[in-house]
Amino acid sequence: MRIALYYLIQCTWGAVQSTLGLIYFIFHFSEKHYLYHGAIVTEWNKRSSVSLGMFVFVTKEPYFYNKLKSEYTREELSQRLLVHEYGHTIQSLILGPLYLIIIGIPSTLWGFLPCCNARRRTKNISYFSFFTEKWANFLGEQVTGQKSMENLMID
């Protein structure tokens, strides 16, 4: 019942981002896919990960593994990243059509703008300290009961 409700809300209230996610899914149909708490997860060969409605796209090889391998296994980091990205799907459930404006755009800018990258590096700020990412960590952990990315330094 909960999964059916998850899909219903993602396909109505979260229709914009779920439609974008479906387009990404179609373009990456040949990649590995599986379900995670109702979300459709695709492991892709991109460096970054993204959540669009009920669709989650996670990197096959977390680029930050080499920086953190003394503390975490690759599998643990991949699982934590999945919990984080799943948190974004919960944000989509809550915010609906406002998700891309409140979460998607700020998160993308925080992750990819050179000035933001430089600020994170010079001031030793975790990518996951930004409000969109911190909230995704919290929601992912609350819903799944698993650990998320916390304030790991990945840059």
pLDDT digits (tens, 9 = 90+) for 101-121: 999 999 999 999 999 999 999
Asked if residue 127 is part of any domain, the answer here is yes
Q: Is 145 helix (H, G, I), strand (E, B) or coil?
A: coil
How far is it, in rounded angstroms, from Cα 95 to Cα 81? 21
Split at pLDDT 50, 70, 90, the class of 13 is very high
Give me the pLDDT at residue 154, please. 86
Residue in this structure with the two tokens 């925080």, named with its chain if needed: 110
Asked if residue 155 is part of any domain, the answer here is no
Average pLDDT over residues 62-91: 93
Query: Residue 56's beta-bridge partner residues?
Result: 41, 51
Looking at the structure of the chain, the number of domains it has is 1
Task: Tell me which amino acid residue 73 is.
Answer: T
35: containing domain: 2-144
Q: Is the pLDDT of residue 21 over 90?
A: yes
